[in-house]
Amino acid sequence: MSVLERLETYARVKEHESMKKHTTFHIGGTVDYFIYPKNCTSLLCVVNILNENHIPYFVMGRGSNVLCDDEDFHGAIINLDRTLNEAYIEPSGILVAQAGCSVVNLAAEAMKHSLSGLEFASGIPGSIGGAVYMNAGAYKSNMAEIIKDVFVMRDNQIVWMDKSELELAYRHSIFQKHKDWTILAARLQLQPADRDEIRDLMDSRRQRRMAAQPLDKPCAGSVFRNPEQIPAWKLVENLGLRGFRIGGAQVSEKHCNFIVNENNEATAADVRNLIALIKEKAKNTYDIDLITEVEQLHW
């Protein structure tokens, strides 16, 4: 039995799939196997098959904070956003969400149940798995404030990891050090609040995002983490790089901490060269070492 036949026992598989279709940057080569596992059991089996055959793989959600290589990937992408996307709300206000759940949809669902805590995330276009991985945040709030524990696949075992084990910090979690661990679900502690107030706050923040960010163009959100001295967007603007372009990659005219794929012509090399130029100028001019926030997949 071929590897493909074995994989198709447990998952839906697309061969030679373009990663441009699966990232908000619209950048990337093709991947040998693009895999949608049916559930946690099938995910375990898929990973075992890939490991047995020495096939490299990455696990991905909605592809909203990812930059893929231009070259073809002779490996597999395991996608969770179409299958591991169930969520449950306990009477106590605990929201249990599988890794593939849309953060935007979860925030809306919490609002419907008069539960507060996810308002900051109502405009983050990623999955809950990615949000936990990055300790995503906005408006001086982040995932660390609401996470109770996380359901994780590691070393061929499925375990609950308490918040205290996750090393949560600014745009950081322990999962960034353990790329082979897979986030399956998270439990979030939300608090009861007035539904109309939650809705109004979410609406105002959504409008603010739409006004300030280039959401109408292919991009991957904020490119750099904010250094202590100055917001990243302000630093890039002070360097005179608003609108600066390399190939099809351009520093957004609307928000200087965004790089957009102008006219869908950018390559990963264009984006990386632009990132490198910004980092070099920031170091030479202000002695600041910018750290990228976008997750870069190298194969």
What are the residue numbers of the active site? 171, 222, 293
CA distance 18 to 189: 37
The secondary element (H helix, E strand) that includes residue 236 is helix 232-238
SS (H, E, C) 103-158: HHHHHHHHHHCCEECCHHHCCCCCEHHHHHHHCCEECCEEHHHCEEEEEEEECCEE
The pairing of strands 11-18 and 30-37 is antiparallel
β-bridge partners, 14: 34
Task: State the Cα angle at 87 between 82 and 93, rounded to 5°.
Answer: 160
Number of CB atoms found within 10 A of residue 145's CB: 14
User: Is residue 59 within 8 Å of 53, Cβ to Cβ?
Assistant: no
Q: Residues with Cβ < 8 Å from 58, sequence gap 6 or more?
A: 75, 76, 77, 78, 297
User: Is residue 176 within 8 Å of 136, Cβ to Cβ?
Assistant: no
CA distance 52 to 92: 43
Which amino acid is it at 130?
G
User: Is residue 69 within 8 Å of 268, Cβ to Cβ?
Assistant: yes
